[in-house]
Amino acid sequence: MSAPKEDPVVIANNITKCFRIPLEASSGIKQKLVNIVKGRKGYREFTPLNDISFTINKGDFFGIVGRNGSGKSTLLKTLAGIYAPNSGEIHINGTLVPFIELGVGFNPELTGKENIFLNGALLGFSRKQIEEMYADIVDFA
């Protein structure tokens, strides 16, 4: 019996994401010019993702664990295309739906079942497809 063939759905190669954080809350044009003339940066660089690589295959469970400010949300937002990486490549094979914030995409006036069917339809699934996936969605939730 041969090993199962890998079926990558997410490939991240050498992802780096950097942010520039201003040193002063509100810096006027005069201060910015003084900083340029004196060769000072008016910001500091923060790099929550530095050369991150991984592959997620179909059927894999993938967890992201870390302290506050360690880059978990930045990684998810970069994978979702909300942030562009400064370097590296991301390949998504399939449809990625970013539910990054709790409760996003759910209507509190609808039942759980109605929300499942509504969101499934918005994602392009037929009623039959949603009915076939319904038990798995409920088990996951």
Q: Are 72 and 134 contained in the same domain?
A: no
Closest CA to 52 of 69, 22, 74: 74
Q: How many domains does the chain have?
A: 2
Q: Are 120 and 86 contained in the same domain?
A: no
Crossing angle of helices 112-122 and 127-140, rounded to 10°: 130
pLDDT digits (tens, 9 = 90+) for 37-67: 777 777 789 999 999 999 999 888 888 999 9
- Asked whether residue 99 is domain-assigned, the answer is no
pTM of the predicted protein model: 0.63
pLDDT of residue 25: 63
Q: Is 68 exposed, middle or buried (0-12, 13-18, 19+ CB in 10 A)?
A: exposed
- Asked whether residue 100 is domain-assigned, the answer is no
Q: Are 28 and 64 contained in the same domain?
A: yes
Compute the distance between CA of residue 9 and CA of residue 94 in angstroms, rounded to an integer. 7
Q: Structural domain of residue 57, as residue ranges?
A: 1-91
Q: Are 23 and 66 contained in the same domain?
A: yes
pLDDT digits (tens, 9 = 90+) for 1-34: 444 557 899 999 999 999 988 777 666 777 777 7
pLDDT digits (tens, 9 = 90+) for 64-118: 999 998 999 999 999 988 899 999 999 999 877 776 666 667 788 989 899 888 8
Q: Are 65 and 122 contained in the same domain?
A: no
- Asked whether residue 45 is domain-assigned, the answer is yes
pLDDT of residue 2: 43
pLDDT of residue 139: 87
pLDDT of residue 3: 44
- Asked whether residue 110 is domain-assigned, the answer is yes
Q: Are 28 and 83 contained in the same domain?
A: yes
